[in-house]
Structure 1
Amino acid sequence: MRIPIPQALPATHGSLHNMSRPISSRLPASLALASLILASSPLAAQDWTRFHGPSGGNAAAPSLPASFTDADFAWKTDLPGTGVSSPVAWGNSIFLTTETDSSSRALLCLDLSSGKERWRLADSFDAHGKHRFNSFASSTPTVDKDRIYLSWTSGGNMLALAADHNGHKLWQVNLGPYSEEHGSGASPVLAGPALIVVNDSQGADGAILGLNPKDGTTLWKLPRRSDRTPFSTPAVFEESPGLWRVILSSNPAALTCLDTASGKVLWNVDNPQPGQRAVGSPTITNGICFATVGQGGKANAAIAVRIKDGSRLWENGKGLPYVPTPLALNKHFLLLGDGGILSSVNSETGTHSWSERVFQDQAYSSPVSSGDRIFCISRSGKIAVVSANPDSFQLLGTAELGDPCDSTPAIANGRLIIRTAHKLFCLAPKDAQP
């Protein structure tokens, strides 16, 4: 079914389209380098180190099948408890969080080759208000060669902690009050010298923090209070070798760029619709960052800016995802709307190349790409595999998981790892090595 294609609005002067800086049509050399670093190095590493991966949802695994049945999975395993966090992977290890009962949760480590549990780090928590679709294991871990890092809430406080690759807790810190009736959801990210944790809540003590990954001590703290607590995870890019930045999507600013060494604000872009909430995370491709905001279960506005200086390129108000994070694909953004429509959008102009319905039900999972294929998953566990061609839509295959799915999959060492409400699945090419 072909969907009418909405067109972007150019950023113009006025209350809604107030341009803070002139639009630049040329990509500076340093920004071209940043885009190259962002696009190339994570694919070579083959580790899936954070929510939606380190390269905007992309990984190099071209031999994954487009059509498959339950019998084609390399393995599947039952998970203790439930959760909506996404898996991450380092080497031959998978890490994810799960809510095991009404006051307990855990960080799990599983073997990538077999799906067998290696260890679990248990943690108790005090329950608090949350949305019926949320859980107390909704934040995705981030991982490096030394540690696995988490941030989650207990009672009215935001906590951050780290464990080593053998499951031993190394440190835990209380980052202060957290206030939000729908619970929490933003995931931590590593960016250069700092572990970035978002506690951008509605309370007076809201802040963005840069922590020392080794011991959890605070390197810097940026006070930041939102009218509507965001659930989005920061986007990361390396502007030049060793110079790391993060871009946050939230209210009161639609997008904020920070230097991760100091916490200094480099630029802010006003929210195109004040009072809206950021749920899906910002995505970067071609030196351009794209983010959406919304409320009431739907996205109402989107903005695209240059990551170098925050200059506005275009805005859009239709055919947008609210919960799913966009996929970076060459010079396009692939948008999976909550209502099941997949769209290809030119990053420079905001024009739609195509929009097609891939699901009849809702989708909260973010799309990921493996080589020349895009994998999309609906809330009911249906999978649509689409050609990774931003200029032309082609449905390559479909499958069903048989279990609800709100989590974003991971791709590591050629394998697609899918977390559903109760299970973990691994899809691997036939020639995959342990």
Structure 2
Amino acid sequence: MKAVRLLTILAAMALCGDSSSVAAQEWTRFRGPNGTGESEATTTPSTWTSEDYNWNVKLPGLGHSSPVVWGNQVFLLSADPETATRYVLSYDATLGTELWNRSFESTPHHLHKQSSYASSTPAVDANRVYVAWSDPSSVTLMALSHQGEILWKRDLGRWYSQHGFGTSPMLVDDLVVLSNSQEAKDGPNPAEEPQSFMMAFDAATGEERWRIPRNPVNTSYAVPALFEPKNRPRQIVSMSTGDGMFGLDPHTGKEIWFNKCFDKRTVSSPLVIGDLIFGGTGSGGGGSYVVALRSDGTDASLAYKFDAQAPYVPTVVARGDLLFLVSDGGVASCIDLNTAKVHWRQRIGGNYNSSPVRAHDKLYCLSQDGEVVVLAAEKEFAELGRVSLGEGSRATPAIANGTLFLRTFSHLMSVGGPNGERGER
């Protein structure tokens, strides 16, 4: 393991000489660049043992926040399950050493049994890391420096959701965008009804740039993505039960188009591939489906609806003209991205809250029990490996600088890297 670590350090030092190579490998938000969940890294293993980890560290508290990576720093959230104290954490991506830990007191409150006080994933850019969480009285959005200094903090007002907070910030140009989506509830005082908004803030100062109201049918946990229609300015795309899927002007928040394509809760996030935008909906009682909308940037129409073992919580991932889906109940499928023709469907076992991610020709599927099932990202089904992480997980893996970062309830670990597939046997 020591030799592996030395090789990793040397490889990282070599990469630092080429800033363009490093920048191309950042994992800056939930599911990485634009939320696609994909990397073309060829240095992540198909299988590994405990001896193959670059490092494996115990985190303070528990959580489902996924790691993000900038340069040689990993950032994530964790929380004390008893007091709800939040921890914003930074680790050295090469050595796994803790660089800093900032703690923030909070108030214990009701959560869904599969949630945590740290279910939101940070967003990060060259200057700052952005985090969000809530308690019953407020939503907090905060920016910290890469050294852990608080740069600004915003209280976005009271919060209501029976399941707790779980969405994550994303970045576009000089803006931090957050879906402040809340649950509808009946009450005697209309002024106390929850208000849902899409919101954007100046990344440097925290100043609010715009907000647009959304229909608070139920809480949406979708993290927005960017859509670049042909011959038109790019847009923010997001989704919710009340508003379906919609496109917004990033600079003003003005709604450009919407398609009310959902009749259930939205927990997964949109995936944008060319002029196709994918989104899923579902419930704990079933009836989940994924839609593909085709958009020219002025409107969006339904290309198809896929409901055969479709995921509710996990977000889909693509490779070329292949779309891969992993259902909450552990059925993986590969379909044609344009036509929804099924190439294969296979039960891989386990239950899933984590979204699959792709490293070149490998899919990493992390179950609630903490088992990583590695599949070939191909038109023909093949299972490449299975690895138990030793603890449950509801976090989505990250891939940066050719390395796979995995988070369980209370551990963060790193495997693989630029020196090759050392986990292979």
TM-score (norm. length: structure 2): 0.87
Aligned mates of 1:321, 1:59 — CA distance in 2? 22
Structure 2 residue aligned with 1:49? 28
Of the three residues 88, 112, 115, the one matched with 1:134 is 115
Structure 2 residue aligned with 1:217? 207
Aligned mates of 1:160, 1:410 — CA distance in 2? 22
1:131-280 superposed matches below 5 A? 131-202=112-183, 203-239=193-229, 243-273=233-263, 276-280=264-268
The amino acid of 1:407's aligned partner reads A
Aligned mates of 1:213, 1:375 — CA distance in 2? 32
- Aligned-pair RMSD on alpha carbons? 2.1
Equivalent pair of 1:129/1:180 in contact (CA under 8 Å): no
Structure 1 residue aligned with 2:346? 356
The amino acid of 1:413's aligned partner reads N
- Structure 1 residue 287: deviation in Å? 2.3
Structure 2 residue aligned with 1:94? 74
Aligned mates of 2:66, 2:310 — CA distance in 1? 22
Aligned mates of 1:311, 1:50 — CA distance in 2? 28
Equivalent pair of 1:221/1:263 in contact (CA under 8 Å): yes
Aligned mates of 1:139, 1:176 — CA distance in 2? 18
Residues 1:401 and 2:389 aligned together: yes
Q: Deviation per CA, 1:314-363, whole angstroms, max 9, x where unpaired?
A: 1122211111111122223211101111111222112221111112x201
Equivalent pair of 1:366/1:408 in contact (CA under 8 Å): yes
Equivalent pair of 1:99/1:137 in contact (CA under 8 Å): yes
In structure 1, the gaps of 5 or more residues are 1-40
- Structure 1 residue 121: deviation in Å? 1.6
Aligned mates of 1:430, 1:163 — CA distance in 2? 29
Aligned mates of 2:91, 2:405 — CA distance in 1? 11
- Structure 1 residue 258: deviation in Å? 0.9
Percent identical among aligned pairs is 33
SS at match of 1:311: strand
SS at match of 1:197: strand
SS at match of 1:177: coil
Aligned mates of 1:425, 1:416 — CA distance in 2? 8
Aligned mates of 1:242, 1:109 — CA distance in 2? 38
Aligned mates of 1:215, 1:146 — CA distance in 2? 12
- Structure 1 residue 392: deviation in Å? 1.2
Structure 2 residue aligned with 1:62? 42
Residues 1:103 and 2:93 aligned together: no
Aligned mates of 2:21, 2:231 — CA distance in 1? 15
Structure 2 residue aligned with 1:423? 411
Q: Which moved more, 1:221-230 or 1:237-246?
A: 237-246
SS at match of 2:282: strand
1:339-354 superposed matches below 5 A? 339-354=329-344
**Using a 3 Å threshold, how does the CA distance of structure 1 residues 131 and 212 change in structure 2: closer, same or farther?**
same
Equivalent pair of 1:298/1:338 in contact (CA under 8 Å): no
Aligned mates of 2:307, 2:77 — CA distance in 1? 34
Structure 1 residue aligned with 2:273? 285
Equivalent pair of 2:56/2:96 in contact (CA under 8 Å): yes
Of the three residues 51, 57, 73, the one matched with 1:71 is 51
The amino acid of 1:153's aligned partner reads S
**Using a 3 Å threshold, how does the CA distance of structure 1 residues 204 and 80 change in structure 2: closer, same or farther?**
closer
Q: Deviation per CA, 1:387-433, whole angstroms, max 9, x where unpaired?
A: 111x211111111111101100000101100000111110123717x
The amino acid of 1:110's aligned partner reads Y
**Using a 3 Å threshold, how does the CA distance of structure 1 residues 208 and 356 change in structure 2: closer, same or farther?**
same
Structure 2 residue aligned with 1:17? none
Aligned mates of 1:221, 1:192 — CA distance in 2? 17
Aligned mates of 2:311, 2:158 — CA distance in 1? 29
Equivalent pair of 1:142/1:148 in contact (CA under 8 Å): yes
Q: Deviation per CA, 1:187-219, whole angstroms, max 9, x where unpaired?
A: 110022321111121244211101111111111
SS at match of 1:71: helix
Equivalent pair of 1:176/1:205 in contact (CA under 8 Å): no
Equivalent pair of 2:43/2:403 in contact (CA under 8 Å): no
Aligned mates of 2:345, 2:49 — CA distance in 1? 27
Q: Deviation per CA, 1:92-119, whole angstroms, max 9, x where unpaired?
A: 0000000035131111000000111000
Aligned mates of 1:45, 1:351 — CA distance in 2? 33
In structure 2, the gaps of 5 or more residues are 1-19, 184-192, 421-425
Aligned mates of 2:417, 2:124 — CA distance in 1? 25
1:296-335 superposed matches below 5 A? 296=284, 298-308=286-296, 309-335=299-325
Q: Deviation per CA, 1:359-400, whole angstroms, max 9, x where unpaired?
A: 2x20111111112111111111111111111x2111111111
**Using a 3 Å threshold, how does the CA distance of structure 1 residues 315 and 242 change in structure 2: closer, same or farther?**
closer
Aligned mates of 1:299, 1:144 — CA distance in 2? 38
Aligned mates of 1:430, 1:331 — CA distance in 2? 27
Equivalent pair of 2:402/2:418 in contact (CA under 8 Å): no
Q: Which moved more, 1:294-303 or 1:55-64?
A: 294-303
The amino acid of 1:51's aligned partner reads F
Equivalent pair of 1:292/1:299 in contact (CA under 8 Å): no
Aligned mates of 1:431, 1:411 — CA distance in 2? 15
Aligned mates of 1:70, 1:166 — CA distance in 2? 31
- Structure 1 residue 127: deviation in Å? 2.4
- Structure 1 residue 239: deviation in Å? 4.2
Aligned mates of 2:234, 2:141 — CA distance in 1? 21
Structure 1 residue aligned with 2:372? 383
The amino acid of 1:385's aligned partner reads V
Aligned mates of 1:373, 1:333 — CA distance in 2? 13
Equivalent pair of 2:219/2:265 in contact (CA under 8 Å): yes
Aligned mates of 1:297, 1:230 — CA distance in 2? 17
